[in-house]
Amino acid sequence: MDLAALGFAVLVALLASTLFGLAPALHASRVQLVDGLRQGGKGSALGARGAWARNMFVVAEIALAVVLVVAAGLLSRSLAAIAAVDLGFSPDRVLVMQTTVPVRPTVEDAMRGTKFYREFLPQVRAIPGVSAAAAVRGLPTQVVSNGGYWIEGGPTFDNLGIARTPQALFTLTSPEYFKTMGIALKRGRDFTDADVAGATMVAIVNEALVRQSFPNEDPIGRRIRCGLDSPEFMTIIGVAGDVRTSGPQRPAQAEIFMPYEQHPRPGSSLTLIARTEMADPLTLTETIRRMAAERNPDVPMQASTMDQTLQKANATPRFQTFLLVVFASVALTLALAGVYGVMAYTVSQRVPELGVRVALGATPGHIRALVFGQAAKLAGAGLVLGIALALASGRVIRGFLFGVEPTDSTVLVSVVVVVAVATLAACYVPVRRAVRVDPMVALRAE
C-alpha cells in the first residue's frame, strides 16, 4: 500500500464519519427544551422518523452483508471445484527447475544447446530418489506456443465448405516426459533418444486433438505438421491423455508434443522436471545444481515444485476469494453491530413499557419474543433484499465462477441460516437486559 492509497482510505473514513454523524447532530440541535424535559433526558427527539431511519440503515447493512457473504460463498465453492479438477497429470513430488543454456540466437547454436540436456538428463535420472526426469518447453499451466496444424491429405472444411486451420498447443519434450508428469500414454510409444535432428520427424498428439481431427480413425501412422518451425510433416507415434495445459478452469485443448531435439529453439530455455520419492522434492535442488555447474557453470537454475507452480496458476481466484471473504466478514460484523446498537437503544427506550408488561404478568418468554420479534423483522427484510440483490448481480460474478452457478441453492440457504443466526445472536445482550427489567424500578423512574 502506498501513501496515495493510505491517504485516500483515511480521507474516505473521515468524510464518512462526518457525513453519518451530521444527521444525529442536526436532530439533537433541534430538540425543544420542553420536549427534552418531558422525556426525562432519556427519550429521543427523532421520534418515529428516527426509528424508521435506524431500522432502514440496519436493513441496508444486513442486505449488503448478504450480497458479500453470498459472493464469498460462491467463490469459495468455485475454488474448491478448481482444486478438485482432474488435471490429467500428477503434480505430487515433482521438482521443477527453470533452466537456460546460454547460446547465440541461431538454430545452429540452439542445436548445440540441446546437447546439455541430452547429456545431463541421464545423470539426473541416476540420482538416488529420482524415478524419472525429463525436459519440456511448455509445462502444464504455462502455455508457451500454439497455432494451426495441418493433416496430410488436404485441408479440413467447416459446414460452409470453407477451409479452416484447426488450432493446437505446441509442446517440446524429451523422452520420459509423460512418465515424469504422470500423463497416461493411451496408445503408441513415447519419444526415445533416437528421435533427434535428422531422424524421421515424429509427434505425439493428445485425445482432444484426436477427437478434433480423427474422430473415427486411428491417428497412429498419420502425418501432421504445424506452424511451429518446420514445414515438414511429422508421423504420429502416440496418443497421450488430455492435460489441462491452459489451467484447471479451461477444458483440455488439442495439443501436439514434439521431440525437443528435432525442434531446437533459438534463445529459448527448457524446464527440467524430476519425479522424486521424497516428500519434499526441493531437497534435491543443491545436488542437481552442483551437477549442472560441473557440466556448464553458466546454466542458471530456479527451483520450485509442481505443486507451487499450480498454486501460482490459481493465485488470482484464490486472492479474489480471500478478499471477498475479508470484505464479507467486515460487512457482517458491521451489520451485527448495527443490529446490536438498534436493539440495545430500543430496549433502553422501552424500559417503562417493559416494566408495565412485567407488572401486568408478562413472562420472560413474552419479553424475549417481543425483542427477538423486532430483530427478526429487521433480519428478514435485510435477507430478502440481500438475496434479491445477490441474484440480480449474478451476471457480474458469473465470469469469476467455475463449476458453480450464481443461483447455487447450497450457498444461498447457508447464507440465510448464518446471517439469521448471527443477527439473532447479536440481540442476546439487549434481550437479557429486557428480561431483567425490574417493574418497580422502571415505574418509579418514570
Per-residue model confidence as pLDDT tens for the chain (446 residues): 789 999 999 999 999 999 888 877 777 777 666 555 555 445 444 456 667 877 888 888 889 889 989 989 998 898 888 888 888 999 999 999 988 877 666 666 667 678 888 889 999 999 999 999 999 988 888 778 888 898 887 665 455 445 578 899 999 999 999 999 999 999 999 999 999 888 999 999 999 999 999 988 899 999 999 878 777 899 999 999 999 888 788 888 999 999 988 887 765 678 899 999 988 999 999 999 999 888 888 888 889 999 888 888 788 888 888 888 888 888 888 888 888 888 888 777 777 777 777 777 778 888 888 888 888 888 899 999 999 999 988 888 888 888 889 889 999 999 999 988 888 888 888 888 777 777 676 566 55
Instruction: Give me the residues paired with residue 157 across strands.
Output: 163
Domain presence at residue 28 = no
Q: How many CB atoms lie within 10 A of CB 408?
A: 18
Instruction: Give me the residues paired with residue 270 across strands.
Output: 99
Domain ends where: 299, 331, 348? 299
- pTM higher than the cut 0.85: no
Same domain? 209 vs 269: yes
Same domain? 55 vs 182: no
Domain ends where: 253, 274, 299? 299
C-alpha separations of 58 from 178, 272, 355, 378 in Å: 58, 58, 27, 7
Same domain? 288 vs 373: no
* Maximal C-alpha separation, the chain: 106
**Residue 382 grid coordinates:** 435485510
**Residue 42 grid coordinates:** 432519556
Domain presence at residue 91 = no
Distance CA 354, CA 374 (A): 14
Say what angle helices 409-425 and 364-392 make with each other, to 10 degrees.
140
Same domain? 123 vs 263: yes
Domain presence at residue 29 = no
Domain presence at residue 15 = no
Domain presence at residue 10 = no
Domain presence at residue 307 = no
Angle of CA points 203, 206, 208, to nearest 5°: 135
Domain presence at residue 182 = yes
Same domain? 293 vs 322: no
156, amino acid identity: T
Same domain? 111 vs 255: yes
Same domain? 141 vs 264: yes
Same domain? 278 vs 364: no
Per the structure, how many domains does the chain have? Answer: 2
Distance CA 378, CA 142 (A): 50
Angle of CA points 314, 318, 322, to nearest 5°: 170
Same domain? 138 vs 261: yes
Domain ends where: 299, 327, 344? 299
Domain presence at residue 66 = yes
> Where does 53-138 show beta strands of DSSP type E?
94-99, 130-137
Residue 9, C-beta contacts closer than 8 angstroms, at least 6 positions apart: none
Distance CA 192, CA 123 (A): 16
Which one-letter DSSP state was computed for residue 260? G
> Where does 124-259 show beta strands of DSSP type E?
130-137, 145-151, 156-157, 163-164, 167-173, 185-188, 202-206, 223-226, 234-240, 255-259
| Domain enclosing residue 264, as ranges | 101-299
Same domain? 73 vs 108: no
Same domain? 371 vs 259: no
The pairing of beta strand 255-259 with beta strand 167-173: parallel
246, amino acid identity: S
Same domain? 125 vs 231: yes
Distance CA 381, CA 399 (A): 29
